[in-house]
Every structure is written in C-alpha cells, then in structure tokens.
Structure 1
C-alpha cells in the first residue's frame, strides 16, 4: 500500500479522541483489539482509517460519527434521554388537534356543499 503523506482531519481527530480518553496508543489499541503500530499508522495517516474501525470506536468508546467525520458536535455520542415519551405525547396531541380540525373542515365543506346546491336550485 502506498504511504499517505498529509495528515487528514480524521487522523487528527483520532489522535485527539485517544488523548481525550487519556490513553496511549498501546492501551487504546488493546481496547480496540489492534496493535499500537496500527493506531500509530492511522494517526500519522500512513494507513487509511477504515469505516469498520470508526464503527468500533463508536461501539467501544461511544464516539460520535458526526464529530469524527465533520468535527462538529460533541466528541462523545449522547442520545437525548426521555425524548421518545415526549415525542409520543406530542404526536398524540397533534393527532387530536388535527382530528378536530379535519372534523371542523368536513362540517364546513358539507355546509358549503348544501349552500351551493341551494343556490344552484334557485338559479334554475
């Protein structure tokens, strides 16, 4: 494999992530089932970082995919807690409101329909 030259942002973020976890390359590699030399090659852009490695970072250390690939957001993935119940309640409320609006519009449409036919009958 040809040696890569420039350090990529992903390689830099990998190093930042490892250091934020307060680990050397050897311990970090052990946690991921890799030799420290592989971690070194990833961090120094001598080896492309494969997607399965990034997924393992997410699985083992809860690293955010968004942060790793874009640098945006938090380094660690933090799912919002309690949003499912909140979302369900919001959906139930919205459903009730929409059902009432549909019923009201249906009544208005029937009224207009009757008025139209009454007007049409008068025009004959």
Structure 2
C-alpha cells in the first residue's frame, strides 16, 4: 500500500472514530488490537491487515472502498431498516453518527467475501466467509452473489491478478466462453474461461504457461460466473 493510501486510511479511521465517540482504546477493544496499533493506523505508520479492515468496516458501518480511499463516497447504513444514505464526504457530524446533509436513499444488501472456495461442501453457506461488502440491492437483484479473492496467476493476461476481488453470480453453470469459478478433482475453486465441446469442458487459463484442460463435463463443478472484477487504482 502506498504512503498516500496509508494516510487516507489513517485519516478516515480517525475521522470516523471521532464521529462515533470512541477513544483509541475503545476502538482497539472493538477490533481486537491495542491502543498503539490504532494510533499507528491513524498516523500512517502501519497499515491495518485485512481482518482488521473488515472489523473496522463493521464498526463504522462503511464500505471497504471508502475506508481504503478507493472512493470518496460513503454509505451510512441504518441497521434496522437496512437502508443507506449515499453521499459524498460533505456531511455533518452528530454525537454518535455521521449524517449526510442531503442524499438519495438506496436499499443495500451485504455480499459475503470468500477467501477460497473448496470442494466437499454442499453449499456456499458452509464455506468460510472472510468479510462482507455492501452493495445496492438493485445491482444484484437477479440472483445470489458473492465476492471471491483471486489467488494465483491463471488469469493475469486478462488483467486479473492475485489479491483482486471478483463479483460472482452463484450458479451451477457458466455460459460458453465466460469466466467461471470451477472446482476440479476436489481442488480449490479457480477462475477459468469455460468452453463446451460435446460432452467435455475446456477450461482455458489466461496465462501462456498454463495449458487448457479438457475434462468430462461431469468432472467439473461450477460454483458461479464472474460478473465484475475489482482492483485498486
């Protein structure tokens, strides 16, 4: 993470901590670190690891994109109504919350983030969730969705690198030529372009060093189809 990004993260942690009325000790207790760690995050001397970032997002009811400085939009969630006011950072601060001065109301939902998808589970609900992202309900109204953190370099020639997140529509099939999350022979799920040839499936990587795999269709387990790739800029 660049020094500029560290400073943005620190400023936003300090800004939102003050807004909700927590001391550094109290915030540290909430996310499981000591006061000095919070102080280091706020001054940019240290970067919060991903598990702490996800806890901070929960404490502040904000998006990871806002906390990490990827966006100047913040989303303020009403826990009871599951609604959000989306606005730029022109807000007023009250004792216990951040209140946008004027913004439209958008219904939001939480999308689970998986660090991995493995075989041997009957459903995604049994997989280990590493965090959540809040998105508009309208953008995912056509099905069940999840985020997957990319591992490996099998799709680097399409600009999909390790550590990026992909938004996946959960389904047990993938359209011909599209990128799917696939599991073969009980391995961890990976991203591949999926092509159908008769009763076989061709799994094509976007890496010249990885040859395509041609497999019987019943040996391939598809967990979903990739709809969007997200990365830092």
Higher helix share: 1
Flag the structure with larger Rg.
1
Unpaired runs of 5+ residues, structure 2, are 78-83, 85-105, 110-136, 143-233
1:14 equivalenced with 2:41 (yes/no): no
For the 8 Å contact 1:54–1:65, the answer to whether it is kept is yes
**TM-score, with structure 2 as normaliser:** 0.31
Aligned partners of 1:42 and 1:81: how far apart in 2?
Answer: 28
1:80 equivalenced with 2:107 (yes/no): yes
Aligned partners of 2:76 and 2:67: how far apart in 1?
Answer: 10
Q: CA RMSD in A?
A: 3.0
For the 8 Å contact 1:26–1:35, the answer to whether it is kept is yes
The Cα shift of 1:60 comes to 3.3
The Cα shift of 1:14 comes to 1.0
Partner residue, 2:57: 58
**TM-score, with structure 1 as normaliser:** 0.54
- Corresponding pairs, count: 83
For the 8 Å contact 2:41–2:48, the answer to whether it is kept is yes
SS of residue in 2 equivalent to 1:23: coil
Higher strand share: 2
Unpaired runs of 5+ residues, structure 1, are 89-124
SS of residue in 1 equivalent to 2:48: coil
User: RCO higher in 1 or 2 (8 Å CA, sep ≥ 6)?
Assistant: 1
The Cα shift of 1:21 comes to 1.2
